[in-house]
Amino acid sequence: MQIIDEAKNIVLIGLMGSGKSAIGRTIAKKLGRRFIDTDRFLERKTGKTVSEIFEQEGEQRFRLYEKEVIKKISQYIGIVIATGGGAIKDPENFKYLKESGWIIALYASPETLYKRIEGKRIRPLLLNQDDPVKKLEEIQNERKSIYAKADFQIDTEAKDIDNISGEIMDLLNIEKPMTAFDFGL
């Protein structure tokens, strides 16, 4: 079995609610790799939540912070990265991430995306939207040509985290690290 280049990062992209963080964390755990969520990284660095930044400093400023974070973590090797849904809109961000490893785009219908994020962390782009599902559809349409540039496309509709993580591991031909169980211990 071909084993993925251990130096290459695994980068998850996709809209909010596509499962980037949950799937990224699961894959990282299975592989014993470090996991970084760009939004959480940015929040620790700035001492503010993403929604506070949007509210107090505006989206443009947020995108600048996001760009700094992407530039920095693209230099790390052998990690799993979950990006904020809009991070790849910036061509330079996409380039840095692409150079750092495999890019995997996660998809789901706007209805499913909304069901997954409803009542959870505030997503500033959906604030004060009369029809958040329609808004998600618009954002999806705006970004689909960029998400399509990923190395792999995964449909997450009606699948659970374990299924999707397994699918990604198979796709990348990743051999799971041996455990005591494999040795019959």
Kindly state the smallest distance separating residue 121's Cβ from ligand S3P, in Å. 7
DSSP helix, strand, coil percent of the chain (3-state; round to 5): 55, 10, 35
Kindly state the smallest distance separating residue 50's Cβ from ligand S3P, in Å. 5
Q: What SS3 class is residue 153?
A: strand
Distance CA 157, CA 112 (A): 7
Nearer to ligand S3P, 77 or 127 (CB): 127
Nearer to ligand S3P, 90 or 167 (CB): 90
Beta-carbon-side half-sphere exposure of residue 137 (alpha carbons within 13 Å) = 6
Distance CA 41, CA 134 (A): 29
Amino acid at 34: R
Distance CA 153, CA 133 (A): 22
Residues that bind ligand S3P (CB under 6 A): 16, 39, 50, 84-86, 123-125
Nearer to ligand S3P, 138 or 167 (CB): 138
Kindly state the smallest distance separating residue 182's Cβ from ligand S3P, in Å. 34
Kindly state the smallest distance separating residue 100's Cβ from ligand S3P, in Å. 18
Nearer to ligand S3P, 13 or 172 (CB): 13
